[in-house]
Amino acid sequence: MKIPNLKEYDLIIINSSGGKDSIACIWEMNRIIEDQKFNKKNVHISHQDLKNAEWKGTTDLVIAQAKFFGYQNHVSRYRDKNGNEKTFLDYAEQRGMFPSSTARWCTSEFKRGAGARVVTALSKPITKAKGKSKVLYCFGFRHDESPARKIEKKIHLAIQPRLTTKKRTVVECYPIQDWNAKKVWQVINKNKLPSHNAYNLGMPRLSCVFCIYAPFDALVIAGQNNPKLLDEYIRVERKIKHTFQDKKPIENVRDAIDDGYEPGVVQSWVMPT
C-alpha cells in the first residue's frame, strides 16, 4: 500500500463492522499511526450498530477492539427523518421489501448514512476552529471479496464526494485491500486480536446475521445459532410477501434445519461492492 502522509490529516476515522477485515484494518492503521507518531487522540473507531440484524456481541466486541488499541469508539444507528431508530426488519416492513442488488438500502441507510453522521460530528469542531478540516476515512475492503472492488478500489486513497464539502475533505483509505484472507488471519492470530465467535461456528463473514448475498449453507449456520431471529425474518417475509433473497424464501432455511440438514464448509461469498 502507498502509505498516506498522516501529517496532512486532522482526523482519522476507522470504520469497523467488528469482523476480521475490520480488526486487521485497525491493526495495519495502528502500525502506520505509531510509525508516523500521529496523535492517537485524533483517531476514532466508528461502528454502525445493526441491532438485532447483526451477530450478538458485535458492538461490545468493537468497543473491546478499540480499547485494545487505545482508541475512542463511536456507535451509530439508523435513524429516520424524525430521529427515531428503527431495526432492519422495521425498515423492511415499512418498505414492503428486503434489500436487493439494485436497492441495497441495508448499506446506504444502515451503514453509510449512520457512519456519515459520525464523520460530521467528529469533524465539525475542527472545521469550526480551523475553518477547514481533512479526514482520513479507513475501511477494511479487500480485493478478493468482490470483483467490483478490484475495479473500483485500485487506488488506496480517494476523495469521498458524498462527505466532502467546501470546508471539509474526506479521503477514503483501504489499508488492506491487497491482503488475502490467509494474511488477515495470520495477523489476528499472531497478535491475539479479539475476534467474534461466529467465525468458529463456520461463518466466513460477520456483520449481518442473515445476508442477502450469503449462500444457503451460511444462512443455515446463522439460523441454527439464531433461531428466534430467523423466525422474525420469516414473519416479516410472510407479511410483506417479498422473499429475503430473489425467489429464495428464508423460510427454506427453517425447513432445512427442521429436516436435520447439516451445512458444509462455507467459503466467503462475493459482495457486489
Residue 42 parent element (H or E)? none
User: Does pLDDT of 11 surpass 50?
Assistant: yes
Considering just the CA atoms, what is the radius of gyration of the chain in Å? 19
Residue among 145, 88, 140 at smallest CA distance from 273: 145
Alpha helices in the chain (DSSP H): 20-35, 58-69, 88-95, 105-107, 114-130, 147-152, 181-190, 216-225, 227-240, 251-258
Per cent of the chain over pLDDT 90 is: 89
pLDDT at 151: 44
Instruction: Decide: 203 and 249 in contact? Cβ < 8 Å.
Output: no
Yes or no: say if 9 and 36 are a contact pair by the CB < 8 Å rule: no
Query: Alpha helix locations (H) across 131-250?
Result: 147-152, 181-190, 216-225, 227-240
Percent of the chain with pLDDT over 70: 95
3-state secondary structure of 57: coil
DSSP state of 244: S
Nearest of 32, 150, 54 to residue 111 by alpha carbon? 54
Q: Where are the domains of the chain?
A: 6-173
Write down the pLDDT at residue 207.
77
Among residues 205, 159, 198, the alpha carbon closest in space to that of 22 is found at 205
Cell of 153: 478500489
Torsion angle of the four alpha carbons 14, 59, 243, 149, in this order, in degrees rounded to the nearest 10: 20
Please write the tens of the pLDDT for every residue from 240-273: 999 999 999 999 999 999 999 999 999 888 776 6
Q: Does residue 92 sit in helix, strand or coil?
A: helix
Query: Rounded to whole angstroms, how far apart are CA atoms 102 and 100?
Result: 5
C-alpha distances in Å from residue 246, one per residue of 168, 237, 240, 258: 40, 12, 14, 22
Q: Which CATH superfamily is domain 6-173 in?
A: HUPs (3.40.50.620)
**What's the mean pLDDT in 140-145?**
86
Return the closest-CA partner of residue 52 out of 195, 209, 200, 197. 209
What average pLDDT does the segment 180-192 reach?
96
Residues 50-107 pLDDT 10s: 999 999 999 999 999 999 999 999 999 999 999 999 999 999 999 999 999 889 999 9
Average pLDDT of the chain to the nearest whole number:
93
Stretch among 36-40, 48-52, 142-146, 193-197 having the lowest mean pLDDT: 142-146
Q: Which amino acid is at 72?
A: Q
DSSP state of 198: G
